[in-house]
Chains A and B, each alone.
Chain A
Amino acid sequence: MDFTETICTLSTPAGTGAIGLIRISGKKSLEILQSVFVSKSNKTLFEPNKVYMGTIIDKNEIIDEVLITYFKQPNSYTGENLIEISCHGSVYIQRSILELLVSKGCRLAEPGEFTLRAFMSGKIDLSQAEAISDLIASQSKAAHQLAIQHLKGGFSSKIKSLREQLLHFTALLELELDFAEEDVEFANRIEIKHLFEKLKQEIQSLLHSFKMGNVFKNGIPVAIAGKPNVGKSTLLNTLLNEERAIVTNIPGTTRDTIEDTIVIDGFMFRFIDTAGLRTTSDEIEKYGIERSYKAMEKATIILYLIDKDEVDNEEVKKIKEKFKEKKLFVLVNKSDLLPEFPTTSTKDTFYISAKKKINISAINDALKEFVATLESPNDILVANTRHYEALYNAHLSLLQAEEAFDKQVPTDLVMVDIKQVLYYLGTITGEIHNNEILESIFKNFCIGK
């Protein structure tokens, strides 16, 4: 990639829409714009951050009437001179404008190149670049909020601040090592212990938040479980409003877990249909049942289906006991076949009919209610596996450093563990460089943001 070139791209999804946004970034963006744009007020000099109306013209022929905005470097997304052209959303218009820009000296941007340039001009750090990647990929409001939170730099400034506090003490410890025989003040051991304690708590809570962060990013896992042929696949289909799972009356048809997602009230739920639970000799099905248990273990919420004829309290008790840390709703299915449809649902038990789509809204309401009890995606949450791993390793080294300190291991050796903590925290924000990390982050951009 040549970063001296001026690049352009369509920043809105390709296809027909009301409007499309084309961006130009680089040294020559203003010059190129001036060669194709005639403003309505006949202005040729554009002030930054102002919107101008005019036309894009190719060889005296008007391509489109557009709005343009000029962002002057370094106050732009990429940190370079950047132009945004809002044109009409026709594929033809968009393509014509891009072709025109290329003919005037622009190059079409590579995937992720705008963000890459922002990163390279120091506008964003590594974890913010990752947030942008997440932002683009976000499929729900919660995932979006989370990415925004990271983009604002809340996460990286928190990590930076933790690292700096440790760095400060490291400097004191180093000083003490080299100047033991001279006039220096030693690092306060009690303060160091406090700092360790504080770092441990902060990192632990970030590590803990990964579970939530991941949930917001990838959807809250919901397992639909129950005995064979109780109607799990039907329920899933009803919830998804489409024929995803294979529905038959032969018990044990669903041999694999099937996943799909829906967004309710801005939160994404990831449904996991599971093979029915029962004792079986069929090897393949046995495997499916193991997976059911696994799916339930992985889930945050379990929708446990029972048949209206088999209100088997023992079975429900057993499952409730086994997964007592999960949110479990009991759904009494096929309730429409009862002489009278029960209207009194208890707190966590609902009478429904998956096939007739009766009382499905109660499930939606219950899910919404559950979500309200969760941490807010506006808090600083870890949602990225790379961050999680770095924090995990930092935490491990921190524990080792603390133990060594308590055992009065000589400081020069304790420093080995402290340096590991600094290293791992530094890799999150990019203060410590790692070739592979950089490569994998920018590889993840797949659209021309």
Chain B
Amino acid sequence: MNYIKYSELYDIIVVGAGHAGCEAAMAAANLGSRTLLLTMNINTIAFLSCNPAIGGIAKGQIVREIDALGGYTAIVADKTMIQFRMLNRSKGPAMWSPRTQNDKYKYSFEWKHILESTKNLDIREDTVIEIITENNSVIGVRTKLGAEFYAKATILTNGTFLNGVIHIGERNFIGGRLGEDAVKGLTENLNSLGFKSLRLKTGTPARVDSRTINFSKLEEQKGEEDITGFSFLKISPKLSQKSCWITYTNPKVHAILRKGFDKSPMFQGRIQGVGPRYCPSIEDKIDRFAGKDSHQIFLEPESENGIEYYLNGFSSSLPEEIQVEALHLIPGLENAKILKPGYAIEYDYFSPTQLYASLETKQINFLYFAGQINGTTGYEEAACQGLMAGINAHRKINNLEPIVLSRESSYIGVLIDDLITKGVDEPYRMFTSRAEHRVLLRQDNADIRLTPLGYQIGLISEERYQNFLIKKEKINSLISYLKKYSIEPKEINPLLKAKKSSEISQKIKFSRLLLRPQISLNDLISSSVKLKDYMSNHSFNHEIIEEVEILIKYENYIIKENELATRITQLEKIKLDPNFDYGKVLSLSTEARQKLSKIKPTTLGQASRISGISPSDISVLLILLGR
């Protein structure tokens, strides 16, 4: 075939304009790389294919980390939110997780607008079916429409589109998302270059027409009035805020769904790919938790003014008629009409142990993988990989060291380290428990953890960095004030009495009182004229008040977690040569020799996290390294 050769040499080509692709393209272009973003469909850029929501437990932390490093997901989510909640407020600060409902059309449009307003960035609608390599390096891509584009580096973010197959009951057909084509050829091309691909599965629930929902039978869940948002840039929401609604399944619903099990593509084995255990379909839930009579369903609006509602908790790939019949037995949905049925999708992914921590592949130089192609699930997980791949591709072609975030610095660091070290055998979703030190990786301090790095990389502007420094300074001065000055019994005792906290008999440091769970910094401000004056003289905003309160209230735990982190990270400081010949170390177990040769860990800490590597294998390495 004759290909149209575009003579323009790009620095970086990004394949796919989902959540990973968009962040990757923006990072590369903003850092100064001439970037080409190739997407199959210009109208579905950064599409929220599944849940019309961003953030949530652990994911909300990632979104704030992306923001702290200079990415855009947080900004777009803030601009297009139709509901905001801080999940887990009643738990400790490590669990507080921001989450928004978003208008999915405006979300996509906003991203498109940002991409279009960016220098150095071209967008093309086409499908990449092959990468062009030379001497083990990627030099460009070939497309379905017959074009060749050349670049110094290429980032693949193909999502669920590689050989995607959609299943609804006994029907199945090729597609990367309902109504959209899949990509054929690229997997095979990569396989021929030595990459190993596997199958995964994910699913999505039906969408329901709100005009057919009886909301009076549902429980309303309102958003918070105090919207703090994701971005540290503090972007106020532009759209009107909407509620979500809650209903429940019942034994009758379960009985109907069971009727369809013999036609379930999952149960009948037509789907080979492994699905996410922690985001199970409704049929999975009633099968696995047979004793449970009822499951919660959230109805989430998909846009500010549209009729589409997403049925969170009712993901299914049972035949459409079963889905509808079951739905009609759920309170509030008796007459519901669906806009589209739930379905499962199977797709190819590439085992991420084939990547370095920079997300560059070990097989082919200058080739990067980010997002669902690496076996992850979730917009946030994808977006942060895109950001890091964009940064690192740019750095590689400019001969700079890659940026590798540590597990102690961020959830992004945890995620990438997990992927490349352990690989995945089911869709990988972030949890707070994946982080060894969640108390350090809070949503509130993402900027403190990462913005200096974002500035150093070049994605944080000078102005933003200066503002960040001022914020940090204010936090420190407020903390020292509260640790230095005291409050008199007569000022605070009425409030203590009202809050059923024991009264004080002599003056006490502000910081000491803050240790009481019932007492907030705002309580102290309202009780002490001195503190109130100090606060207004220095114009401390809500964000600073919250940060200071966390740092004082939980200081003890933060210190302990820091100490443990320091002790445990000793092994991270011991470097390993990725090209070390483990085959000759006979004291290692056979499994350890194979795994270490494959994963090529760069630190002893990473080696210790590889599954199948035992403590004694690590001792062997420690001793071999001369202890």
Contacts and interface: CB of A to CB of B under 8 A. Distances in A.
Interface of A: 1, 3-4, 27, 116-117, 119-122, 125-126, 174-175, 177-183, 409-413, 415-417, 419-420, 423, 429-435, 438-439, 442
A417 B563 CA distance: 12
B233 interface: no
Given A120-B616, A413-B557, A433-B618, A183 B439 contact: no
A180 B432 CA distance: 12
Interface residues of B, number: 49
Contacts of A438: 619, 622-623, 627
Interface string B465-506: 000000000000000000000000000000000000000000
Contact of A119 (B285, B571, B608, B616): B616
21 contacts: A1-B623, A3-B586, A3-B587, A121-B616, A125-B616, A174-B433, A177-B91, A177-B432, A180-B57, A180-B88, A411-B91, A411-B92, A412-B439, A415-B438, A430-B615, A433-B619, A434-B570, A435-B570, A435-B622, A438-B623, A438-B627
A186 to B, nearest CB: 13
Interface in B77-115: 87-88, 90-92, 94-95
Given A177-B432, A412-B432, A423-B568, A3 B624 contact: yes
Contacts of B561: 416
B3 interface: no
A419 B564 contact: yes
A117 B95 CA distance: 45
B57 A423 contact: no
Nearest to A171: B433
Contacts of A174: 431, 433
Contacts of B436: 419
Contacts of A175: 433
A416 B439 contact: yes
Nearest to B288: A183
A438 to B, nearest CB: 6
A339 B585 CA distance: 79
B9 interface: no
B433 A120 contact: no
A430 B95 contact: no
Contacts of A4: 584, 586
A183 B289 contact: yes
Most buried by A among B58, B91, B623: B623
A1 B623 CA distance: 9
B520 to A, nearest CB: 16
Contacts of B624: 3
Given A4-B586, A177-B433, A413 B439 contact: yes
Nearest to A2: B624
Given A119-B616, A432-B615, 6 more contacts: A122-B614, A122-B616, A182-B278, A183-B292, A412-B94, A433-B615
Contacts of B92: 409-413
Contacts of A415: 438
Nearest to A178: B431
B195 interface: no
B554 A413 contact: yes
A142 to B, nearest CB: 30
B616 A410 contact: no
Contact of B438 (A126, A412, A429, A434): A412
A122 B623 contact: no
Nearest to A182: B278
Contacts of A125: 615-616
B560 A416 contact: yes
A257 B382 CA distance: 71
Interface string B118-148: 0000000000000000000000000000000
Nearest to B589: A122
Contacts of B589: 122
Interface string B426-458: 000001110010110000000000000000000
Contact of A181 (B87, B554, B619, B627): B87
B587 A121 contact: yes
Nearest to A419: B564
A433 B438 contact: no
B545 interface: no
A117 B58 CA distance: 43
Contacts of A430: 615-616, 619
